[in-house]
Amino acid sequence: IVASESVNKYNNYKNLFLFNVLMLLIFLVLTFSSMNLFMFYLFFESSLIPTLFLILGWGYQPERLQAGVYLLFYTLLVSLPLLVGIFYLYKNCNTMNFYLLSNYMFNYNLLYLAMILAFLVKMPMFLVHLWLPKAHVEAPVSGSMILAGIMLKLGGYGLLRVFSFLQLIGLKYNYIWVSISLIGGVLISLVCLRQTDLKALIAYSSVAHMGIVLGGLMTLSYWGLSGSYTLMIGHGLCSSGLFCLANITYERLGSRSLLINKGLLNFMPSMTLWWFLLSVCNMAAPPSLNLLGEISLLNSIVSWSWLTMISLSFLSFFSAAYTLYLYAYSQHGKIFSGVYSFSGGNIREYFLLFLHWFPLNLLILKSEVCLFWI
């Protein structure tokens, strides 16, 4: 809400906008706090609706219709099997409480597939990630920040929840998802290096990050679970801050293209510091929370199989590469000739970025909250 000053300034149905964002946040809080599998499903799916309205109502380009359709169909196609799987569980166990369900162990291939696919698309896993760059590029800044910060984490949270009763069959089939997401992470990182759109680059980078999170989650080891949890929190803060920065430059220059947003060190000297801090956190440099998560994820995935070291080394190298590409190309270089002035930020933007960066680097001092299954 703080970032969406332009909606207030140009008065684009601002009450409706605030209502939408508020409903979305309420749905998300309810999703994370529900202990019942069906209520979790209900709020998980209903958080889609305000997001869709945000993209369709306050997006930037006419392609937002296509982005909305992508988002809707990708999510709906896989959420119906999830509903069927939930009803099947209820028929067998007569309960939907997560704690009671974790006493059961299921070994049905179809149930496993139905329960897991919805969360894989939400994460998003490589091959079903196509809705994410579209939705991010077309969404307004608040939609983008909520989408990057919280909506992607719903997938990981749901996987943490359902693997409490899918462990047996998970050990049988999880190698498929780990290999897809790791190889996909490398490919996505290469895609990042060829992006010209600021927001698309950040969106693809979050696909790559969620790939490594998914790989760690699927190993079902203690380090993998806690590391994926940590990296999800860190990535939520970091990616959301980067989207906010992209929007700040977009409001000044009217463009998100990297061909125009260059030499910003001359144009907005005060924002360069924030670009640097958040880019470095995206790269998982110390002392950010991402470092903690990535170390434990590397630990778990390599102990799961040695062959993953190849793709993991590529992944960490290219993630640093595209982050530095994003920073260097937007801040250095000859300034775009259409820009004749210079501009600072205002207090609101500094405060917003501080609120992203501060917990990101101070939560590493209180890291035991992230290692909470022991």
Query: Is residue 141 within 8 Å of 3, Cβ to Cβ?
Result: yes
pLDDT of residue 190: 96
**How far is residue 62's CA from residue 265's CA, in Å, rounded to a whole number?**
31
Q: Write out the DSSP string of 158-190.
A: HHHHHTTS-HHHHHHHHHHHHHHHHHHHHHHHH
Single-letter residue type at 322: Y
**How far is residue 320's CA from residue 181's CA, in Å, rounded to a whole number?**
18
Q: What is the number of alpha carbons within 13 Å of residue 252 lying toward its C-beta? A: 22
Domain boundaries, the chain: 5-370
pLDDT of residue 279: 94
pLDDT of residue 8: 59
Please report, in tens digits, the pLDDT of each residue of the chain (374 residues total): 555 656 655 667 778 888 898 899 899 999 999 999 999 999 999 999 999 998 998 888 888 889 999 999 999 999 999 999 999 999 999 999 988 988 888 888 999 999 999 999 999 999 999 999 999 999 888 889 889 989 999 999 999 999 988 888 989 999 999 999 999 999 999 999 999 999 999 999 999 999 999 999 999 998 999 999 999 999 999 999 999 999 888 888 888 888 888 888 888 888 899 999 999 999 988 888 999 999 999 999 999 999 999 999 999 999 999 999 999 989 988 777 666 667 777 888 888 888 889 999 888 887 777 666 54
Query: Is residue 217 within 8 Å of 224, Cβ to Cβ?
Result: yes
Query: Is residue 72 within 8 Å of 78, Cβ to Cβ?
Result: no
Sign of CA dihedral 334, 335, 338, 341: negative
pLDDT of residue 340: 65
pLDDT of residue 5: 57
pLDDT of residue 3: 59
Question: Among 323, 217, 334, which residue's Cα sits nearest to residue 264?
Answer: 334
How large is the C-alpha radius of gyration of the chain?
A: 20
pLDDT of residue 332: 86
CB count in 10 Å sphere of residue 5 = 15
